Structure 1
Amino acid sequence: MESPVTFDRLYEGAKRFARLAMEAHADEDQEVFLLHAGVSVERLAKAALVLVHPTLLTEVNGKDDMLLHLAGAVTKAPARIRTIGASTAIGRLRKMDVLPQKPSNEADDLDGLIELRNGVAHLGTGDVEDYLGTFTATVDKLLRHVRQDRGSFWEAWSETAQVVLDDRTDRLQKAVRLRVSQARHRFRRRFGQLPEGAVQGVAQAVSERGLIVVEVGPAKALFQTLSQCPACDQESAALFLAVGENSLLFVMELTAEGLLCELCGFHLASTEEVEAVGLPSTVQYSMEDLTQIVAEGRNAAESHATLKLALQARFNADNSF
């Protein structure tokens, strides 16, 4: 009977949990991400040790059963398969100069990832630092050591892993590119099996067209309008626009402040992020372009013309067009 502790089994397990970790991170489920990322690193670290010799997975506890089995001295596996934990595997790889050694930021971050994985498994955890970079960089080092292709390991998540590993772009560009990649994966997962044309129907059903007043405040008003999503390329994203109190009403210069796509969940949270995906940061509209007002405190029975006047009154003391 083949031993369950082999490079192939450990490597395939690491791949599976790596993809689950990436999916959880894209869904913003930090606890599930930490669990799967920690398991993936542990299995890939053990796979690297097995390539040297299977006995490197044995605990030093005075019992010989597992040691003899992994050394090939006995063919029958022990009734209870017990190998070293993640921290010990990482420690042995550090002694072999495969992973960053202490003291270093890389080593501390990797230890933090494993500690949080253990904490989630036993007690749960609150808001924590994002360890996606640490996870991806560690996997990359181990893949190079065991001479496995990055693309075949990450498969559908190869683009996302490359974005995380790329250090040629600034932090904002990198964050936006990561969100684009994750949103594209979510879109494929949700709509990849639908027939041609069905996605467009869904987009039309969830999208609101025209220029809509979302909120009116003392200093500015917030609008939304329909935009093509930079991630899934569907005309399904709400582009949020703001105008200050001193703006002209017939020719309003609106500043893009964010974006949210209902189909893939892609979002932008600032003018700088809007510019980073190639969308214009300013657009021009007039009050005549308004199609709907959903600002809080408005009576739905009020006429469109009355709402326009009410909005204008917030900007102009004379209440006139």
Structure 2
Amino acid sequence: MFDEEQLKGDGLNHSFCAMQAYLGAETDLFSLHAGISAERLAKACLVRRSPALLVELQSNAFNSLATLLGIAVVEPPGRRAKMRTVGLQVAFARLQALGVQIDVSKEGLENFIEARNWATHGGPGSFDLEETAADFVKIVDSLLDDLHFDRYSFWNVHLAQADRLKDGAEQRHRERVRKLLSEAAARFESLSETERDNLQTRAALLMFAEPNHVRFDCPSCGNPGVLSGEYGSLRPLTDESEDGIQWAMLEVEEFECYCCGLRLNGRSDIYAGNVPPTVTVPHNEAMAQVYRSDSEIENS
């Protein structure tokens, strides 16, 4: 029904059409084929793990699940079996939940999906073709990496164009983050000594309850800032070091400074802003943070 190789082949064909449309400045055609290509590749990533991951969770999900798993379903007379699978947005969400890193910002991913939706359903979509094409290349490269698909073979005649788009997007992103750092530093420097003291006192109060592992000196003003992100296991729970300590990893997604107002959002911002992308912490300390931040656990 849904075959990984077929999905990858479809993704390749639509990618070719998308790049041809990009070169011809055909915005809607590009967005349509780029969206289909990304969706096919995302579904291939899911199918590689299990076809069941394609099921759209609705009231009639069982029939779709059984069909995807190759199990015959008996339908009432006169009714045809319907197959409902996830769309692009849900496919990306499931992949990210499974630990697949999509190398674009949250905003870039949302803009790409929106561009695809405008092209599919019509409407006055307003998006930059160059930026959207660059995000498309980065999304595809992330999926190809998960699929162990040779990107040189995939992009083929469009490889140089894909590289140019990707490198240009990364350069523009680095420049944007450098500007954020510079503006935050200038903002802090422009304050009077009293204003700085007040901000530092307030920041110290806000930081008081934060554990040491989430504190990091701001790359703009040098004051302590706060790291945040998702905790993941670095070692199996049964694997203890000699001193009995188990470890976890904080995958840093955001950084905020209470003094200069610098905010970095997303892994790409973190890398470009010279903030550590990961922090190793004792497992019990990490779990305390997880429990503290989960409202359902806190209120139970």
**3-state SS in 2 of match to 1:56:** helix
Per the TM alignment, residue 91 of structure 1 is displaced from its structure 2 partner at its CA by 0.5
Per the TM alignment, residue 135 of structure 1 is displaced from its structure 2 partner at its CA by 0.3
Per the TM alignment, residue 75 of structure 1 is displaced from its structure 2 partner at its CA by 8.3
TM-score relative to the length of structure 1: 0.47
Contact 1:100/1:107 (<8 A) preserved: no
Q: Distance in 2 between matches of 1:109 and 1:170?
A: 15
Which residue, 6, 9, 18 being the options, matches 1:9?
Answer: 6
Q: Distance in 2 between matches of 1:162 and 1:53?
A: 32
Label 1:75 to 1:150 Cα distance change in 2 as closer, same or farther (>3 A): farther
**Match of 2:67, as an amino acid?**
H
Q: Distance in 2 between matches of 1:73 and 1:48?
A: 22
User: In the TM superposition, what are the counterparts of 1:63-78 in structure 2 within 5 Å?
Assistant: 63=60, 64-74=62-72
**Match of 2:133, as an amino acid?**
L
Point out the structure with max Rg over C-alpha.
1
1:36 maps to: 33
Which residue, 99, 106, 125 being the options, matches 1:97?
Answer: 99
Q: Distance in 1 between matches of 2:101 and 2:54?
A: 17
1:180 maps to: none
Per-residue Cα deviation, 1:209-261 (whole angstroms, up to 9, x for no partner) = xxxxxxxxxxxxxxxxxxxxxxxxxxxxxxxxxxxxxxxxxxxxxxxxxxxxx
More contact order relative to length (CA 8 Å, sep ≥ 6): 2
In the alignment, structure 1 segments of 5+ residues that lack a partner are: 172-321
Per the TM alignment, residue 96 of structure 1 is displaced from its structure 2 partner at its CA by 1.4
Contact 1:25/1:33 (<8 A) preserved: yes
Q: Distance in 1 between matches of 2:46 and 2:86?
A: 11
* Count of aligned positions: 165
**Match of 1:71, as an amino acid?**
L
**3-state SS in 1 of match to 2:105:** helix
Q: Distance in 2 between matches of 1:117 and 1:123?
A: 10
**3-state SS in 2 of match to 1:18:** helix
**Match of 1:125, as an amino acid?**
P
1:49 equivalent in alignment to 2:43: no
User: In the TM superposition, what are the counterparts of 1:125-164 in structure 2 within 5 Å?
Assistant: 125-130=124-129, 131-164=132-165
Contact 2:21/2:30 (<8 A) preserved: yes
Structure (1/2) with the larger helix percentage: 2
Label 1:109 to 1:34 Cα distance change in 2 as closer, same or farther (>3 A): same
Per the TM alignment, residue 129 of structure 1 is displaced from its structure 2 partner at its CA by 1.6
Per the TM alignment, residue 167 of structure 1 is displaced from its structure 2 partner at its CA by 5.7
Contact 1:21/1:36 (<8 A) preserved: yes
Per the TM alignment, residue 17 of structure 1 is displaced from its structure 2 partner at its CA by 0.8
1:120 maps to: 119
1:61 maps to: 58
Label 1:168 to 1:94 Cα distance change in 2 as closer, same or farther (>3 A): closer
Label 1:62 to 1:17 Cα distance change in 2 as closer, same or farther (>3 A): same
Q: Distance in 2 between matches of 1:111 and 1:22?
A: 20
Contact 2:38/2:140 (<8 A) preserved: yes
Q: Distance in 1 between matches of 2:123 and 2:17?
A: 18
Q: Distance in 1 between matches of 2:87 and 2:15?
A: 18
Label 1:72 to 1:162 Cα distance change in 2 as closer, same or farther (>3 A): same
Contact 1:55/1:67 (<8 A) preserved: yes
2:83 maps to: 81
Per the TM alignment, residue 31 of structure 1 is displaced from its structure 2 partner at its CA by 1.2
Contact 2:11/2:40 (<8 A) preserved: yes
**Match of 2:26, as an amino acid?**
D
Per the TM alignment, residue 117 of structure 1 is displaced from its structure 2 partner at its CA by 1.0
**Match of 1:112, as an amino acid?**
N
TM-score relative to the length of structure 2: 0.51
Label 1:169 to 1:81 Cα distance change in 2 as closer, same or farther (>3 A): closer
Label 1:147 to 1:100 Cα distance change in 2 as closer, same or farther (>3 A): closer
1:235 maps to: none
2:250 maps to: none
Label 1:132 to 1:7 Cα distance change in 2 as closer, same or farther (>3 A): same
Label 1:99 to 1:24 Cα distance change in 2 as closer, same or farther (>3 A): same
Per-residue Cα deviation, 1:27-61 (whole angstroms, up to 9, x for no partner) = 01111111111111111100000000000000111
Per the TM alignment, residue 166 of structure 1 is displaced from its structure 2 partner at its CA by 2.8
RMSD: 2.5
**Match of 1:58, as an amino acid?**
V
Per-residue Cα deviation, 1:63-83 (whole angstroms, up to 9, x for no partner) = 211101222333899733321
